[in-house]
Amino acid sequence: MPVVVPGKAPGDTTVVVAMSGGVDSSAVAALYQAAGYNVVGMTLQLWDYTPASNGGAIKAGGTCCALDDVYDARRVCQKLGIPHYVLNMEKAFKEAVIDDFVETYAAGETPIPCVRCNQRIKFVALLDKAKSLGADAMATGHYVIKDVDGNGVPVLKRGAFSEKDQSYYLFTTTAEQLGYLHFPLGKYEKTQVRAWAKELGLHVHVKKDSYDICFVPGGDYRKVVRKFDPDADAPGNVVDLEGNVVGTHDGVVGFTVGQRKGLPGGSVEPLYVVEIRPATREVVVGNRAALGRKVFSVRELNWLGAPQFGAGVVKVRAQHNGAEAMIHDLGEGRAEVVLAEADHISPGQAAVFYTPDGVMLGGGWIEGSRAAQSPLGAVRKVVIDAGLNLA
């Protein structure tokens, strides 16, 4: 385990561990304690999964931050003999994450509630409480690597194993937060972490991984949208790229860009959702080639350090390998991204920027509408499609 605070021995260092009740954060707490640190467990209760609060639905397996997850975290802390705090953030979570989730789907975009939770709840409430306790640092179970650059400034890198790398979900982290945070699992595989948890006698070593949408009972996100915004789900037409009606649907919130399932049949080629137009309640479909985009814009830019526009590597979804791109400043927290090769872009998802060697620089939220989002966009698209270089 790394020395959390330079110049301080482990026994003089207090580390708050953000504990979700899963195997990763539980292992982090146990490993820090075994290394001699003063460890405090801290858990957020974010959503009530009792049937009464979910219209009769029960908590799905593999979620996090519900009452039974709080229980699992507390049980681990009791075994380790460390203090455990529980922060009830249900009201704030509803307003900051669930409402955003509903509004994003209603706008024809596909949200990432896990990122919004990190940005608006976890890395705010937990850090504030940890600092109020006088802790020297806070650690989480994310699979990312914290390092320092040539000037000794903290940077965030991709996890060593791409299949578990979670840096994409942390693009909203600030430089101040990063200075206080630690991620000890970034260089390890999940199988190693489970083995450590088993060796340390933690009952969660066999617990399933958590899913991103922790507040959707049974995985039916459409039901959640309908519950909180019934007007967001109204019937409309399915149209092709020329505007011809090829079918109908019973609500745009049932679709995401790139989706193939649930679309009208009879086409020579398989159809995919190419665009969602909530204002007219239209779902636009086309062939797979129509999904490709080279130019799009992002909003709510966040940089971990100084802004680094120009050439870079961009991930446009969590499991994306990353693609070469040019990033252009549009001002007011927005940027235009020009990909070297067309890719499937989903509005509402994140575009996260990296250096070629895996340092995560920051990112922004992909804006909706296939129409150009900037004064430069239409011109850029024409010349790029013609094979010209605008770099």
Instruction: Give kind and range of the element (H or E) at residue 336.
Output: strand 334-344
Q: What are 157's strand-pairing partners?
A: 145, 359
Q: How far is CA 42 from CA 29, 127, 146, 308, in A?
A: 10, 10, 21, 35
Please state the separation of Cα 192 from the chain's center in Å.
24
What single-letter DSSP state applies at residue 119?
I
Active-site residue flag, 77: no
* Token pair recorded at residue 148: 């320092």
**Cα separation values, 137 from 5, 130, 146, 198, Å:** 8, 8, 13, 26
User: Is 65 designated active site?
Assistant: no
Q: Which of 297, 304, 310 is nearest to 362 (CA)?
A: 304
**DSSP state at residue 118:** I
Q: For residue 380, what are its two tokens?
A: 């850029």
Scanning the structure block, which residue is given the tokens 């190693």? 192
Element (H, E) at 364: strand 359-366
The answer to whether 391 touches 376, Cβ cutoff 8 Å, is: no
CA atoms within 13 A on the CB side of 143: 19
Annotated active-site positions, please? 117, 214
